[in-house]
Structure 1
Amino acid sequence: MTIDTQRLTVRDGAQISSATFGQGNGGTLTVRATDVELMGISADGDATSGLFSSVQPTATGDGGPLTVDTQKLRISDGAEVRSATFGNGDAGNLEIKATESITLSGVSPVGGRRGGQSSRISANTESMATGSGGDITINTPTTRLDNGAVISARSRSNFPGGEITVNGDTLSLTDGAQILTSGSSGGDAGSITINATDTITLSGIDPTYNDRLAILGADRVDPDGEESAIASRAIGDGQAGSINLNTKTFILRDQALATVSSTGTGVAGTLEVNANSIQLDNGSLNAETTAGDEGNITLSDAQLVVLRNNSTITTNARESATGGNITITTDFLVALENSDITANAILGRGGNITITAIGIFSDRTSEITASSQLGIDGTVNLNTLDVNPFQALAKLPADVVDTSNQIVTSCAAVDGNSFVVTGGGGLPADPTGVLRGQVVVPDLRLMVDEGNTQPVKSRKTRSSLRRRLQYHHDRDQTAITNQKLPIIEAQGWIINDQGIVELVAYPTQISHGSWINHHSCF
């Protein structure tokens, strides 16, 4: 069956379905529309609005695939897109492609068989089925779930449930919305893979969950807990699936969690997060087991991992199970405000924690532990990278300046001429440039060792105004004492009675200039 339309609305318990009741496979159900909206349940509460593919209890054929191709898909007030098997055949796969967005919101009003049901996309293996569950694949830039809405693949039989894959730019789960796989009997839960190029955000709880649970019971309430969550759980003998989250920024806040767990004898699975920034604010990452093999958590390729406000990363084990392993690779790890990283056990061995980072920062209320109450403690390995600050320094040349181009105009060679570069607190001025009004001599000190007396030969040549002269001496040798005179910038020049130009600290009444902007000798 193919539906091709501009707009498709399914509401008030209306249904579009494909099913098999015998040996043949169910037909393909395809919807192509610019806008698809599924809303609510029937007035008596017994029928759910939505799109369905099913394998009925007597059937041996497989369910047909269900495909939705649209710009926008909106599912609200308990409506659903569902693939399920109740018989011997496998459930069909669900594939949803939306070029703009997919939004799931809210639950149906309480009342009737379908009252209190979450808006959902699901692929289930029901309790009497001997077929496997179908897979769910979603491709859209923006996926939003809120107020208890769910994307789920459950196995309620001994056969495995399907897998969930979401590809896009952003994923947002708020107010108790969940993406989950589970195995409640002996069937294995499927894996969850989310590829979001921008952000994955989980926040808040469903305020109606506990009331609905008390009225309807666990079988009728689809979310597994009140928290916003990405979860894979094994309740019986089956194994939990793995969770793989790939994004730029991963955020867990306000009691939200990502978890793989086993409360039976099965393996808990692996939780892996690959993100540049991992931010937990009263959020949790956990992999817990009761009797099966440990669950593990790996955080990779992060620049920053932050835990605040009672956040946790745990691979704790109950009863005789072994604590899981935690591996974190990041530039910086920050744990504040009673936030813990633990791989603890009760009777079994504690897990191993390995953290590789440039810096690890925490306050006294936060801890990293791998202990066992009655068994053998695990290990905590903190590998902080050796940082050599000299590696970042630029290699300087052995020669500070090129002395061949520092003098523009030379004076006549008379005994003992010399040229000294003392530096001026920065790069020297270009010797070919014109001295500007704001340019001053930066350093007028003589190159004299403190406490020493050095002879200085008198010079009978006329001095260039650009030379750094402080004193003029006669031809006889004199001594420069170690008396320290205040350094005063020259303000002018005079010609003394011997016809020698002298730089002076204060100008006289003789007509003269403060500085001359050419380089000639006198």
Structure 2
Amino acid sequence: SIVTPFLSVTNGAQLEALSESNASAGNVVVEAENAIEVSGVNTGLFANSPGRGNAGTIVLKTDRLTVREGGEIIVTSENAGAAGNLEIVAPDIRLERGTLGAETVEGDRANILLDTSDIQLREQSLITTNATGTATGGNINIDTTTLVALDNSDITANAQHSFGGRVTIVAEGIFGTEFRDRLTPESDITATSELGAEFSGTVTILTPDIDAAAGLVELASNTTDPTDRVVTGCAAASGSSFVSTGRGGLPEDPTATIRGQTLWEDVRTVAPEIPEARSNLTPVPSSPSMATQPPKAIVEATGWIVREDGKVELVAGRPQIGDLISTPDCQDL
């Protein structure tokens, strides 16, 4: 067992629990608070039993696990003994041309269990519990938030002359890979057997049900009547004109600024507030009729009508049908 803030295994270094007799191999347990890094060809963490004994188990607990450039973490049984398990608890797992494996020839229990939040496989990385000979393919259990597998990186529980293993993935999102019935140049998830499809294992991928309509805002079904927003204009005719009175002037075009020279300035003097005088004031009771009378709203004019005395009156309501039959010319107003 190793307890350390950081473990780095590089440049051909190996951390191994090995048994060359019929005895079972020991276990490799590493608790690295910050990170575990395995990098380089022939470099890694191993629990191996070349004899008839059982292979040991590798248990890793860390915040970040990185296996790259040919590095390996593998439990192996090369004879009749049972293979151990590879158990990893790490919120962040990165494989870049790296391998996580549990392999057996005749025995059982070649399993991989990964408890993580984010796992990424790149550059032909592998997570494998393949079995050779008559052994059954091992099991792979991955519990994660996101799984990304790119660049022909595979997750396999295949068997040679027996049944394939089981692959179970629980994830909120899986990207770049999918289940296939055989290995391809893409990134694959497989549990096959060379004996045929009837000997294949199972692949179970569990993702949460997502409602595509969840979180959408329901819009109002009643639309605005455009006739209430359009100002009634006069008919175009010769001699029509537009006059704007005042001292500010108009800009030369809608995008220009007004160049008026007359500005308004408040030159009134404000008398200082006298607290003593204010305290002696007697509140004036409000009139009941004034208190209950609602304020009059100012509404923008949307049209006009010609009154009986010939004067034009701007109105905010919609003109009557009779007013729309004959639209006056601007020059007649």
Q: Which residue of 1 aligns with 2:254?
A: none
Q: Render the CA deviation track for 1:453-491: whole Å, top value 9, x for unaligned.
A: 9xxxxxxxx9766x454443299952597xxxxxxxxxx
Instruction: Give the match for residue 339 of structure 1.
Output: 153
CA distance in 2, matches of 1:475, 1:295: 83
Equivalent in 36, 55, 62 of residue 240 of structure 1: 55
Structure 1 Cα separation of the partners of residues 111 and 93 of structure 2 = 17
Could you tell me which of 13, 16, 21 is aligned with 1:185?
21
Shift of 1:360: 1.1
- Residue 77 of structure 2 is matched in structure 1 by 262
> Offset of 1:196 from its aligned partner?
1.3
Number of positions where the alignment pairs a residue of Structure 1 with one of Structure 2: 238
CA deviation vs aligned residue, 1:96-155 (integer Å, no higher than 9, x gap): xxxxxxxxxxxxxxxxxxxxxxxxxxxxxxxxxxxxxxxxxxxxxxxxxxxxxxxxxxxx
Map residues 20-419 of structure 1 onto 2, 5 A cutoff. 165-205=1-41, 227-300=42-115, 302-362=116-176, 365-374=186-195, 376-388=199-211
Aligned equivalents of 1:228, 1:190: Cα separation in 2: 19
TM-score by length of 1: 0.42
Instruction: Summarize the Cα distance change of 1:469–1:275 in structure 2 as closer, same or farther, 3 Å threshold.
Output: farther
Q: Distance in 1 between matches of 2:32 and 2:43?
A: 17
Counterpart CA distance in 1 for 2:216 and 2:74 is: 45
Is the 8 Å Cα contact of residues 202 and 251 (structure 1) preserved in structure 2?
yes
Normalised to the residue count of structure 2, the TM-score between the two structures is 0.65
2:225 corresponds to which residue?
449
Q: CA shift at 1:246, angstroms?
A: 0.8
Query: 1-side partners of 2:88 and 2:24: how far apart?
Result: 22
Q: Distance in 2 between matches of 1:378 and 1:172?
A: 36
3-state SS in 2 of match to 1:237: coil
- Counterpart CA distance in 1 for 2:51 and 2:93 is 32
One-letter amino acid of the structure 1 residue matched with residue 200 of structure 2: D
Provide the rounded CA distance (Å) in 1 between the counterparts of 2:318 and 2:186. Answer: 78
Deviations 1:413-470 (A, max 9, x none): xxxxxxxxxxxxxxxxxxxxxxxxxxxxxxxxxx9524799xxxxxxxx9766x4544
Q: Report deviation, 1:168.
A: 2.1
The answer to whether the 8 Å contact 2:84/2:111 transfers is yes
Letter in 2 for 1:267: A
Between the aligned partners of 1:366 and 1:476, the Cα distance in structure 2 is 67
Q: Against the structure 1 CA distance between its residues 385 and 448, is the aligned structure 2 distance closer, same or farther, given a 3 Å change threshold?
A: closer
The amino acid that maps onto 1:380 is V
Q: Deviations over 1:63-101 (max 9, x none)?
A: xxxxxxxxxxxxxxxxxxxxxxxxxxxxxxxxxxxxxxx
Query: 2:315 aligns to what?
Result: 473
Counterpart CA distance in 2 for 1:201 and 1:476 is: 77
Check conservation: 2:76, 2:104, Cα contact below 8 A. yes
Identity %: 39
The answer to whether the Cα contact below 8 Å between 2:13 and 2:43 also exists between their aligned partners in 1 is yes
Question: How far has the Cα of 1:389 moved from its partner?
Answer: 6.0
Q: Judging changes above 3 Å, is the alpha-carbon distance between structure 1 residues 389 and 477 closer, same or farther for their aligned structure 2 residues?
A: closer
The 3 A distance-change label for structure 1 pair 474 and 183 is closer
- Report if the CA contact (8 A) 1:354-1:382 is conserved: yes
- Against the structure 1 CA distance between its residues 474 and 385, is the aligned structure 2 distance closer, same or farther, given a 3 Å change threshold? closer
**Cα gap change, 1:468/1:262 in structure 2, threshold over 3 Å: closer, same or farther?**
farther
Compute the displacement of 1:186 (Å): 0.8
Q: Distance in 2 between matches of 1:388 and 1:281?
A: 34
Match of 1:502 in 2: none
Instruction: State the superposition RMSD in angstroms.
Output: 3.1
1:180 and 1:351 mapped to 2: Cα distance? 26
Q: Hey, what's the Cα distance between the residues in 1 that align with 2:130 and 2:6?
A: 30
Contact 2:300/2:316 (8 A) holds in 1:
no
Contact map agreement 1:294 1:317 (CA 8 A) in 2 = no
Q: Point out where structure 2 has 5 or more consecutive residues left out of the alignment.
A: 178-184, 230-294, 304-313, 325-333
Preserved CA contact (<8 Å) 1:330 1:358: yes
CA distance in 2, matches of 1:196, 1:306: 20
**Larger RCO: Structure 1 or Structure 2 (Cα < 8 Å, ≥ 6 residues apart)?**
2
As a proportion of its length, which structure holds more strand? 1
Is residue 335–residue 361 contact of structure 1 (8 Å, CA) maintained in 2?
Answer: yes
The structural deviation recorded for 1:391 is 5.9
Q: Relative to structure 1, is the Cα distance of residues 343 and 478 closer, same or farther in structure 2, using a 3 angstrom cutoff?
A: same
Task: List per-residue Cα deviations over 1:346-392 (Å, max 9, x = no partner).
Answer: 11111000111111112561111101102611011111111346666
Q: Which amino acid aligns with 1:185?
A: S
1:183 deviates by 0.7
Q: Which amino acid aligns with 1:374?
A: L
Cα distance change of structure 1 residues 464 and 273 upon mapping to structure 2, 3 Å threshold: same
Aligned residue in 1 for 2:233: none
Structure 1 unaligned runs (5+)?
A: 1-164, 206-226, 397-446, 454-461, 482-522
Letter in structure 1 aligned against 2:76: S
